[in-house]
Amino acid sequence: MNVMIIPLAGISLPLILVPLILVFKHVGRNRDHRHLERMQAIKAGRPLQSASNPPGAGSVVAIGAGVPCASMFGALLATASISSRSPDFMPMMGLIWGSAAVVGLGGLLTAFILGVLSHQGYRRDRDREASEALGSSAKPAYDPDLFDAAGRGY
């Protein structure tokens, strides 16, 4: 066993753990801020924002273009690492490139579905904003005595 493993592990653990802890802390703080923002919106009588945000165009493009490119690049590397004199060369080529094609088509299909859902989400938000512009978003007034059962003599 190499003696250098212990110092390298001692150096690499903080390099991995500290960013992970900071990211988890940041995610928790963002969740708390969103919760407080929703509570303040309810108190003020403002309409709540939608809970789910559709993925942006950048993520859809990254999935639609990145996944097929990465799968084809992986297949190219796998092809380069196989000896052409191997008796199983052709079946392995079919398996490698067939798998890359399936993964690439899966990425394209996922990007298409995300694009359609994103478009529907933007259209729904636009329609909701237009309907809110027509109506008032003020807090509805109600009489607290209307719900007071003790004052009615029950």
Length of the chain: 154
**25: Cα within 13 Å, side-chain hemisphere:** 6
Across the chain, mean pLDDT equals 82
Q: What pLDDT shows up at residue 115?
A: 85
Residues whose CB is less than 8 angstroms from the CB of residue 138 and which lie 6 or more positions away in sequence, other chains included: 45
Instruction: Write the pLDDT tens digit of every residue in 135-151.
Output: 555 555 666 666 666 65
Q: What is the pLDDT of residue 73?
A: 95
Angle at 91 between CA 87 and CA 96, to 5 degrees: 125
pLDDT at 125: 74
Whether the CB-CB separation of 100 and 75 falls below 8 Å is answered with yes
Q: How far apart are CA 129 and CA 122, in angstroms?
A: 11
Question: Residues 77, 79, 80, 82: what is their CA dihedral angle, to the nearest 10 degrees?
Answer: 130
Are 67 and 107 within 8 A, CB to CB?
yes
Residue-wise pLDDT for 57-113, tens only, equals 788 888 889 999 999 999 999 999 888 888 899 999 999 999 999 999 999 999 899
pTM: 0.51
Instruction: State the pLDDT at residue 48.
Output: 72
Identify the residue with better confidence: 49 or 114: 114
Comparison of pLDDT for 133 and 68, the residue scoring more: 68
pLDDT at residue number 42: 85
DSSP alpha helices (H): ranges in 45-88? 57-61, 67-80
CA atoms of 40 and 42, how far apart (whole Å): 5
